[in-house]
Amino acid sequence: MTRTGEATLVKNAGSHYLLSELPVWELFPAVLRGRIRLKDSEVTNPISVGDRVRFEMDGEATPEKPAVITEILPRRNYIIRKSVNLSHPAHIIAANLDKAYIIVTLQFPEIKLPFLDRILVTCEAYGIPVAIVLNKMDLMQEVCPEQVADFHRIYESAGYRIIEVSARTGYGIDALRQDTVGKICLFSGESGVGKSSVIKSLDKTLDPKIGRISEAHLQGKHTTSLYEMYKVNDGGFIIDTPGLRGFGLIDLKKEEIALYFPEMLRISENCRFSPCTHTHEPGCAVKDAVGKGIISAERYSSYLGMLDEDRKYR
């Protein structure tokens, strides 16, 4: 007998997927119906982790006889970046998120503020609540306490919450865990910032580097996963992403970018001209605020870089 239903995509493994009827965590394999696979040529992936889908299957879904995804339901939000695939300009990282956590370190590796700012702008543009997780605090307080204070000044004045943690010592992990309970959360960051260690510290049963939770459901199939959702024992779900080495804006017009810097948006209503690019216009309240230190020079520099698509951080 054919069964139909709705589920959430929890793992992307090439051309095969894992679904679960959340909040129930019972995984089963699925494939895309062909017409959906070819529907959107603008993105590298027509479906992403976190997507709600309709499916149908005969009996119990198995790797040899998987369920078929027949429809991708409308997304309430998603996070997207410029793709390295020239034939598909965009790549959707995840969809239907309650919150995104951007893992950073100030040293080991050294932070690239324009990279962080591009992710934050994307979250603002696509309606995703976001917080910054500052990892390796056991090292940061010894090596660069002044840089830590400066980082707080820059991003808390912009309106972002910073959660200090150390995956190695457990410092701050309880506060982060409480923040994620009951939510579908994205964890992302540059390579080397300790993202996988932070996830594992939230739930010792998880091992995002190996993904052993779901390999059995795709036996005999290609199991290399770029994006995967995990169930957290204390409640909620975490979407893990591979370490990013670049983050390019997509589908944002230059005149819109300033709208997604909260500190600039608050002040821009006082600009003499509207619209104002905050670059050369006289009577620009944003440029005046930068000069007075109300808006950080670092964030303003990131903004200017985003206006120039030929810059390094694309």
Task: For 150-189, give the secondary structure using H, E and C.
Answer: HHHHHHHHHCCCEEECCCCCCCCHHHHHHHHCCCEEEEEE
According to the model, what pLDDT value does residue 210 have? Answer: 40
Q: Which CATH number fits domain 2-74: 2.90.10.10, 3.30.413.10, 2.40.50.140, 3.30.300.30?
A: 2.40.50.140
The CATH code of the domain at 79-240 is 3.40.50.300
According to the model, what pLDDT value does residue 224 have? Answer: 36
Question: C-alpha 20: how far from its chain's center?
Answer: 21
Confirm if 190 and 243 have CB atoms less than 8 A apart. Answer: yes
According to the model, what pLDDT value does residue 251 have? Answer: 74
Domain boundary assignment for the chain: 2-74, 79-240, 254-307
Domains 2-74 and 79-240 share a fold: no
According to the model, what pLDDT value does residue 41 have? Answer: 54
The answer for residues whose C-beta is within 8 angstroms of residue 204's C-beta and 6 or more apart is none
According to the model, what pLDDT value does residue 235 have? Answer: 87
Q: Show pLDDT as tens, one digit a residue, over the chain (314 residues).
A: 789 999 999 998 777 899 999 999 999 999 998 766 555 556 777 899 999 999 999 989 998 999 999 999 999 999 988 766 555 677 889 999 999 999 999 998 999 999 999 999 999 999 999 999 999 999 998 899 999 999 999 999 999 999 999 999 999 999 999 999 999 999 999 889 999 999 999 999 987 764 343 444 443 333 334 689 999 998 899 999 876 666 777 778 888 999 999 999 999 999 999 889 999 999 999 999 999 999 999 999 999 999 986 444 33
Confirm if 236 and 203 have CB atoms less than 8 A apart. Answer: no
What does the block give as tokens for 263?
């500190």
Residue 81 to residue 27: CA distance in whole angstroms:
28
Q: Which CATH number fits domain 254-307: 3.40.1050.10, 2.10.25.10, 1.10.40.60, 1.10.40.50?
A: 1.10.40.50
According to the model, what pLDDT value does residue 313 have? Answer: 38
| Antiparallel, parallel or unpaired: β 52-58 and 2-13 | antiparallel
The length of the chain, given as a count of residues: 314
Torsion of CA 234, 236, 242, 247, to 10 degrees: -130
Residue 68 to residue 49: CA distance in whole angstroms:
16
